[in-house]
């Protein structure tokens, strides 16, 4: 996913887990879009999503989040304000379309 987005001209920042992502978001440099895997170590994607949309960080709530997952937990995520839910394996066309829709072309 990172390679595809970088080839298209997007600046991509990655995180190893939800805690790392939250730490990076706290620096103040906010992304136009987050692609979030639900299954991550340390802090799951579900927990990060709950924090992003908890109301404690109003600026973070405005960032569109696209959840990617190989597991069928999508019904449990509908109340979390996801911009989109993508089942793995994710199609390249879906990645490109969502990046263009939510983050524009850099």
- The CATH number linked to 89 is 3.40.50.2300
According to DSSP, residue 62 is labeled: T
pLDDT score, position 76: 64
72-93 confidence digits (pLDDT tens): 666 666 666 788 888 889 999 9
Q: Is 76 exposed, middle or buried (0-12, 13-18, 19+ CB in 10 A)?
A: exposed
Number of structural domains the chain divides into = 1
Tokens of 104: 């524009």
Say which residues have a Cβ less than 8 Å from residue 34's Cβ, sequence separation at least 6.
21, 52, 63, 64, 65, 66
- Centre a 10 Å sphere on the Cβ of residue 36 and count the other Cβ atoms it contains: 22
What pTM, to 2 d.p., does this model score? 0.86
Closest CA to 30 of 58, 9, 50: 58
18-73 confidence digits (pLDDT tens): 999 999 998 888 899 999 988 888 888 888 988 888 888 888 888 999 988 877 66
Helices of type H across the chain: 2-7, 18-25, 45-52, 58-61, 74-77, 92-103
Residue 106 pLDDT class (50, 70, 90 cuts): very low
pLDDT score, position 95: 94
């Amino acid at each position: 996913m990172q390679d595809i987005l970088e080839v298209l001209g997007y600046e991509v920042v990655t995180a190893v887990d939800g805690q790392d992502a939250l730490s990076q978001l706290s620096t103040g440099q906010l992304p136009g879009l987050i692609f979030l895997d639900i299954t991550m170590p340390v802090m799951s994607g579900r927990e990060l999503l709950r924090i992003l949309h908890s109301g404690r960080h109003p600026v973070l709530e405005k960032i569109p989040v696209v959840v990617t997952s190989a597991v069928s937990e999508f019904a449990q995520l509908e109340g979390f304000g996801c911009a989109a839910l993508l089942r793995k394996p994710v199609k390249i066309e879906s990645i490109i379309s969502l990046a263009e829709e939510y983050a524009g072309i850099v």
